[in-house]
Amino acid sequence: MIPIIVNGTPRSVDATPDTPLLWVLRDNLGLTGTKFGCGMAQCGACTVHLNGAPVRACMTPVSAAAGQKITTIEGAQGKAVKALQDAWVKLDVPQCGYCQSGQIMSAAALLAGNPQPTDADIDTALDGNLCRCATYQRIRAAVHQAARTMRG
């Protein structure tokens, strides 16, 4: 049994230590908001926060997260996440929607450290998050909008 803290709740999961955190979240804990897209840190669909920093859950063995704080899209809270989700809805960013949990988790990490990102900042922070539907233009606009909301 491996102890992890998921969305503020201590959990103990029965998984081999090499199991990627992604599958622990999705299969052991039923938190399916975090998505599988590639399994090799190429697409960002599985982005979660580990102690507040974005990581690719598909390449993070659960043993590396033992005892640490994990935040998934289901538990993501706070001003930045709320502002991002509102902007995502306002601008109708999602198409198929499959990549968007990861996009929002990466964008939240960006806004946490940079309240006024430029297009280039956004491109750098989100370049690891693929969107096959190519909603990129709206993602950029929505991150700017969320940043404006947060600055008030």
- By the criterion CB under 8 A, which residues form the site for other proteins? 15-16, 19-20, 23, 26-28, 30-40, 42-43, 45, 72-74, 84-85, 88-89, 92-101, 104, 122-124, 126-127, 129-140
CB of 135 to other proteins, least distance (A): 7
Other C-beta atoms lying within 10 Å of the C-beta of residue 23:
18
Nearest 5°: phi and psi at 12? -125, 120
15 binds, among other proteins, ligand FES, none (CB under 5 to 8 A by kind): other proteins
CB of 118 to ligand FES, least distance (A): 22
Count how many Cα atoms sit within 13 Å of the Cα of residue 53 in the half-sphere of its side chain: 4
Closest CA to 54 of 124, 147, 2: 124
User: CB of 64 within 8 A of CB of 113?
Assistant: no
CB of 134 to ligand FES, least distance (A): 8
